[in-house]
Structure 1
Amino acid sequence: MIATPSMMLTGTTMDTAQIVALVCIVSGVFTFVEYNSVSPSLIEFRDAPPFNRVRYFGLAATILALTVIAKGATEPTTLTVLFNMIGGSLAEAMDFPYSPVRLVVLMLPAEADGALINSVRTAAALSYLVSLLSLAFFVLALRLNNWPNQRGGFNVWINLPTFDATAGGDVVERLERDGQLNLILGFLLPFLIPAFVKLASDMFNPIQLQDAHTLIWTMTAWAFIPASLIMRGIAMLRVGQMIALQRERAYLHAKDEDAIAV
């Protein structure tokens, strides 16, 4: 997934290829160690599919689609033309006042040419749509498969290594608070990031989106990070709800046993 833009796009420099290869090796080793170690580390919900699978395939689909469109600028084919037409249609539909796509276009400098504006608009619309579809698929899987308890158990320590259940306070309240915070950030970030870039462009050079690699990874991160935060918020709220339900069942069971003993 990480190497897709470098392998498909022409004009990739040797330095870029070496950096990408290094990142791929580090990412592969890290993922292998995380999923084969007994003790938890950083990756959350590793034993609660399809949380990480949905995020991975959504990220991979975004990178692949944007790479195909970028490849069409230098080597047009039937596939690249098709993706460009789909992206252009989505851009027209999603580019309305105060939409995230419109804000991304507005963060570009005033001297940006029409080709760059169209490329950014198309990439933003396509990446945002893929993130919304990934989010919808995860919610559907959560509803239909009794996630995350479809395998008969859920280990909070393994699946939430960054969440300290012994830090103090009620676990359910902390899960709900963290989940709600993730939902709020995930909803606001697509609007806040372009505004921040626009405000900060006066102090330093803005992101140069003319480069195809920069455009692909910037638009992917802009759409993927908020969607990932929303998924995490929904997952944490679900875990909190599951713990609260188990507490209620245990309380009713203990109450029934006390009544029988009396």
Structure 2
Amino acid sequence: MISKLTGAILRALMVVLLIATPSIMLPAIHADTSQIVVLLGLLAAGFTFVEYNSNYPSLVEFRDAPPFNRVRFLALFASVFVLSAIASGKANPTTITLLFELIGGRVSELLDFPYSPVRLVVLMMPTDTNAALIADVRIAAGLSYFVSILSLGLFVLILRFKGWPSQTGGFNVWTNLPTFDPTSGGDVVDRLNRDATGNLILGFLLPFIIPAFVKLASDYINPVSLENQHTLIWMMTAWAFLPASLLMRGIAMNRVAQMIVNQRRRAYAAAHGEDVHGAVHA
């Protein structure tokens, strides 16, 4: 109980730190922005604490199958921190901020090729956007997308070489997939594979769909609002993190489906072996 309480408190504090990072690092934060950040931080911390301190999960998936959520949080925090450091370097440049900006420029150049998600993000900006903002958007998009690719690769390596999630012991579908009802019609393996496929397709397409949608809806959505550093950080992070999270979820659900199939095969083989053994003695 003490361990669960401590873990819930630590996770809540980490979520607060994540939400507050841009406000802490960026200079000249407006008072209204600070109040909104505090409110969002408290709400997110309360939800995280309740979720991880409860025996009955509600929304957080793979709660008891680390490091799924740890990899996602690490990717989200890394993206927000790096983009916040680059933004803060605009006013107070340091060696670290200049290094991040240099790396971001190199990464964005590599990822900014025809029909790439980064290129589409740049193209969604109005034609009269100044060059400095275009460069900031390109760097933010390239870095956040690169971090999402790294997080996805890290999870695949963990799944491949660590045997996730079997290394954590028994896998409880109810606590790790609280929004998935295994009893609501149809074979659970088919439903898991179908949901996994949907997540994989959506995760792959979203980085392309979102910029195209913004471009088409430019009369109602103004991309120039990305001049605000807070907006730029969170929009680019969300644009890259959400697809990567869906891809990880699809891979994870496919893995769970495969585990169930393997368990059924072992159970069938054991039952078949018992029947054969009994027939021999008869």
Give me the TM-score of the superposition, normalised by structure 2.
0.91
Q: 1:170 aligns with which of 154, 175, 187?
A: 187
Q: 1:113 aligns with which of 126, 130, 137?
A: 130
How many aligned residue pairs are there? 262
Corresponding letter in the other structure for 1:174: R
The correspondence of residues 74-223 of structure 1 with structure 2, limited to 5 A, is: 74-206=91-223, 208-223=225-240
The alpha carbon displacement at 1:204 in A equals: 4.5
Match of 1:31 in 2: 48
- Secondary structure of 2:19 counterpart: coil
Measure, in 1, the Cα distance between the counterparts of 2:173 and 2:232: 37
The alpha carbon displacement at 1:203 in A equals: 4.0
The alpha carbon displacement at 1:206 in A equals: 3.8
Measure, in 2, the Cα distance between the counterparts of 1:10 and 1:206: 23
CA 257–220 in structure 1, closer or farther in 2 if over 3 Å, else same: same
Name the Cα RMSD after superposition: 0.9
Corresponding letter in the other structure for 1:87: G
List gaps (5 residues or longer) in structure 1: none
Match of 2:270 in 1: 253
Corresponding letter in the other structure for 1:92: E
Larger displacement relative to structure 2 (15-24 or 226-235) = 15-24
Larger displacement relative to structure 2 (137-146 or 213-222) = 137-146
Measure, in 1, the Cα distance between the counterparts of 2:220 and 2:43: 34
Corresponding letter in the other structure for 1:34: E
Corresponding letter in the other structure for 2:166: N
Could you list the per-position Cα deviations for residues 213-236 of structure 1 after superposition, in whole angstroms to 9, with x for gaps in the alignment? 000000000000000000000000
- Secondary structure of 2:215 counterpart: helix
Is residue 26 of structure 2 the alignment partner of residue 13 of structure 1?
Answer: no
Q: Which structure shows the higher helix fraction?
A: 2
Measure, in 2, the Cα distance between the counterparts of 1:221 and 1:207: 17
Measure, in 1, the Cα distance between the counterparts of 2:250 and 2:25: 35
Give me the TM-score of the superposition, normalised by structure 1.
0.98
Measure, in 2, the Cα distance between the counterparts of 1:55 and 1:67: 18
Match of 1:224 in 2: 241
- Secondary structure of 1:247 counterpart: helix
Question: Which gives a bigger RCO, structure 1 or 2 (Cα 8 Å, sep 6+)?
Answer: 1
The alpha carbon displacement at 1:79 in A equals: 1.0
Measure, in 2, the Cα distance between the counterparts of 1:220 and 1:236: 24
Corresponding letter in the other structure for 1:133: L
The alpha carbon displacement at 1:205 in A equals: 3.5
Larger displacement relative to structure 2 (91-100 or 228-237) = 91-100
Could you list the per-position Cα deviations for residues 127-179 of structure 1 after superposition, in whole angstroms to 9, with x for gaps in the alignment? 00000000000010111111111122000000000101111000000000100
- Secondary structure of 1:172 counterpart: helix
Measure, in 1, the Cα distance between the counterparts of 2:223 and 2:144: 21
Corresponding letter in the other structure for 1:163: F
Asked whether the equivalents of residues 126 and 224 of structure 2 are also in contact (C-alpha less than 8 Å), the reply is no
Is residue 71 of structure 2 the alignment partner of residue 44 of structure 1?
Answer: no
Is residue 237 of structure 2 the alignment partner of residue 237 of structure 1?
Answer: no
The alpha carbon displacement at 1:202 in A equals: 2.6
Could you list the per-position Cα deviations for residues 69-112 of structure 1 after superposition, in whole angstroms to 9, with x for gaps in the alignment? 10111111111111111111111111110011000000001110
List gaps (5 residues or longer) in structure 2: 1-17
- Secondary structure of 1:227 counterpart: helix
